[in-house]
């Protein structure tokens, strides 16, 4: 099994970071073009809640169903129940560094399907692809939280 780690800080309180990640529409903001997300079902964030969505990699649709668990004020885990990977478990952890700075820690354990079925995921969810994705997510999270701060 493979794993991926990524950490970054944002100039926002733990409460604002947690609220951003629990907002069911945030997933649409966190993927770089040409990847777009179409939400089909997004339960309010709770233990056992479900998110069903399609990630469009340009013209290629990839359907996911994820279940949330281990919810706390310091993060949560989403586990792929159905989707393109043989296994995908993504843990988000939020660590306050001060009242207005929070570190976001991303940990993913994943496994590709063998053979042709894993071809697409090997292209997009490899170490370089994940680093690019989470570098974009760092930028998008910071931008979203900056806009929230200005509007409050």
Q: What stretch of H or E contains 29?
A: helix 26-29
Whole-structure pTM value: 0.92
Closest CA to 119 of 90, 88, 85: 85
pLDDT tens per residue, range 81-125: 999 999 999 999 999 999 999 999 999 999 999 999 899 899 889
Strands 75-82 and 101-111, by their bridges, are: unpaired
Nearest to 23 by CA among 48, 44, 46, 52: 44
Q: Print the domain residue range for 47.
A: 2-151
**What CATH code is carried by the domain that includes residue 100?**
3.30.530.20
Domain count, the chain: 1
Of 93, 83, 141, nearest to 117 by C-alpha is 83
């Amino acid at each position: 099994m493979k794993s991926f780690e990524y950490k970054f800080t944002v100039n926002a309180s733990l409460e604002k970071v947690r609220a951003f990640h629990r907002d069911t529409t945030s997933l649409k903001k966190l993927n770089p073009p040409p990847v777009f997300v179409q939400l089909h079902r997004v339960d309010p964030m709770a233990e056992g809640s479900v998110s069903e969505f399609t990630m469009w990699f340009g013209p290629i649709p990839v359907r996911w169903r994820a279940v949330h668990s281990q919810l706390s004020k310091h993060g949560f885990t989403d586990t792929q129940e159905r989707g393109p990977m043989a296994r995908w478990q993504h843990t988000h952890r939020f660590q306050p560094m001060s009242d207005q700075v929070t570190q976001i820690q991303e940990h993913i354990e994943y496994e590709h399907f063998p053979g042709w079925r894993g071809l697409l995921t090997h292209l997009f969810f490899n170490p370089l692809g994940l680093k690019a994705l989470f570098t974009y997510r760092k930028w998008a999270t910071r931008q979203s939280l900056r806009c929230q701060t200005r509007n409050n």
